[in-house]
Amino acid sequence: MALLEVKNLKKSFAKTEVLKGIDLKVNRGDVVSILGPSGSGKTTLLRCINFLEKPDGGKLSFDGEDYDLSGISKSDIAAIRKKTGFVFQGYNLFANKNVLENVTLGLTSARKIPKNEADEKALEVLKKVGMDGYTDYYPSQLSGGQQQRVAIARALATDPSIIYFDEPTSALDPQLTSEVLEVMRELADEGMTMIVVTHEMGFAKEVSSHVVFMADGNVVEEGSSADFFDNPKEVRTREFLRLTEH
């Protein structure tokens, strides 16, 4: 059974229809890369399924429970979010808190976990992303890649069923990008379920189990990573892949 399934997800901003009825299915352990040109609706899709934007309509099944997206309650949203992590393009760390505090804050404030337990969990996930030696550093003292690894640690600290990544490397230079992608590869190898909006074609090809290509608010094509890259069926997909070749 799918961990996450979305049917006919719709979202408009004013009179502009950004998502025109998206279907998406994610099984446990999947790494789903969402590709597409700017303005195709990729980030809006991610934000809608984590309720950072309010969907206009559609159905969501998550971890065995079914929801109507047009009228989902705040308590249902809170219950879903407790099982998810979100890694933003711009890190979204608190500038006035050090690395350890950035990771523990969600545990102590939202989940009421005792500070000593939260600290222990934070150190565990910071070690996993190679940032355990930076607990007293503030975000301004870290590179972009280091900040993003702290953001990944923060997402991991809650033991999520799935993590959403919104273009996690787009603000980074190539060396820092490789640091972050390596952490994500390791998570994939460990079986973490992930949906990744990305422009990193190498990551999508090598690490994804499934690829979704979006354009103009629609899913144009989807399939296994091998099928998508080696045998794209749609003209729009082939053109996109040709333009992204280096």
What is the CATH classification number for the domain harbouring 166? 3.40.50.300
C-alpha distances (whole Å) from 120 to each of 107, 138, 165 are 11, 19, 25
Domain match, 58 and 122 both: no
Domain match, 175 and 70 both: yes
CA 151 to CA 228: how far, in whole Å?
30
**Tell me: the pLDDT tens digits for 11-52?**
999 999 999 999 999 999 999 999 999 999 999 999 999 999
**Tell me: the pLDDT tens digits for 147-183?**
999 999 999 999 999 999 999 999 899 999 999 999 9
User: Of 127, 160, 193, which closes a domain?
Assistant: 160
Please give the average per-residue pLDDT across 113-142, as a whole number.
Answer: 96
Domain match, 170 and 65 both: yes
CA 22 to CA 19: how far, in whole Å?
7
**Tell me: the pLDDT tens digits for 64-117?**
999 999 899 999 999 999 999 999 998 999 999 999 999 999 899 888 899 999
Domain match, 236 and 168 both: yes
DSSP conformation class of 134: G
Residues 148 and 126: beta-carbon distance below 8 Å: no
Please give the average per-residue pLDDT across 202-210, as a whole number.
Answer: 95
pLDDT at 111: 86
Percent of the chain with pLDDT over 70: 100
If we measure between CA atoms, which residue out of 97, 178, 100, 170 comes closest to residue 134?
100
CA 95 to CA 190: how far, in whole Å?
31
Look up the pTM and report it: 0.95
User: Please, is 122 exposed, middle or buried when counting C-beta atoms within 10 Å of its C-beta (0-12, 13-18, 19+)?
Assistant: buried
What is the token pair recorded at 48?
A: 């809608």
How many domains in the chain? Answer: 2
Backbone angles phi, psi at 19, to 5 degrees: -125, 125
What is the token pair recorded at 72?
A: 């989902």
The residue range of the domain holding 135 is 92-160
Domain match, 63 and 120 both: no
Please give the average per-residue pLDDT across 187-213, as a whole number.
Answer: 96
pLDDT at 109: 87
